[in-house]
Structure 1
Amino acid sequence: MNNNTHHERMAKMIFASVYPLYLTKVEKKGRTKEELLQVIEWLTGFDEVKLLEMIEKRVTFETFFQNAALNPNAHLITGMICGYRIEEIENPLTQKVRYLDKLVDELANGRKMEKILRSA
């Protein structure tokens, strides 16, 4: 698959279709919806009300991140996710989606909240 196709697919994915997968993933590992919401709010600035609005409107990841106030420490999210090194992803939107994936993974894997919410 060429990179443009991959980036297009990421941009057009509906956040509401991915959110329940995030929730299932973290709850299966003993984490809570509240913790997931905290992680998403840290990254995007969306509180639960705003997040539910985005889910209800069935926005794409592109719209989701266009409306987000990305945390200034988001660049501290590094490492591998889905076979990609996050800090080397050149497409800004794809990188933001992978930031979120990585935070959800860390939460599911039992990482301490203060480590997940990188405070520099």
Structure 2
Amino acid sequence: MTTKHRIFTTSFASVYPYYVAKAEKKGRTKAEVDAIICWLTGYNQNELEGQLKEQTDFETFFQEAPNLNPSRALIKGVVCGVRVEDIQEPTMREIRYLDKLVDELAKGKSMDKILRV
């Protein structure tokens, strides 16, 4: 029997401030972080804020995502020493996609490149 990684049961709202802080520390904005999250998941701003308010865990956050962006498969690279495209577990892959997008934002990439436009 395999156990779930603890990030799955961690509330998205508890990690969200770290995404924002990482971006703001590099001169980016909360609005850009929100735009990335909405692009990835299909949530609109009100729905995103609702998920944060409800303290939804990561697994539920991604399971309930209205429209996971098909272009997310274009996200490549390494996060925490692991290639995102090699992650087999679907929820963990979604979490790492988000981590990678926030990393790209903090590294100064343009929003067009981050959102694979």
The two structures have a TM-score, normalised by structure 1, of: 0.92
CA shift for structure 1 position 9 = 1.2
Counterpart secondary structure, 2:108: coil
Separation in 1 of the partners of 2:43 and 2:27? 23
In structure 2, list runs of 5 or more residues that go unmatched. none
Separation in 1 of the partners of 2:87 and 2:98? 14
Q: How many pairs were matched up?
A: 115
- Aligned partner (choices 86, 89, 96) of residue 88 of structure 1: 86
Conserved? CA contact 1:44–1:71, under 8 Å = yes
Conserved? CA contact 1:37–1:47, under 8 Å = no
Conserved? CA contact 1:65–1:96, under 8 Å = yes
**Segments ≥4 residues shifted beyond 3 Å:** none
What's the C-alpha RMSD, in Å, of the aligned pairs? 1.1
Identity %, equivalent residues: 52
Within a 5 Å distance, the mapping from 1:1-120 to structure 2 comes to: 4-5=2-3, 7-68=4-65, 69-119=67-117
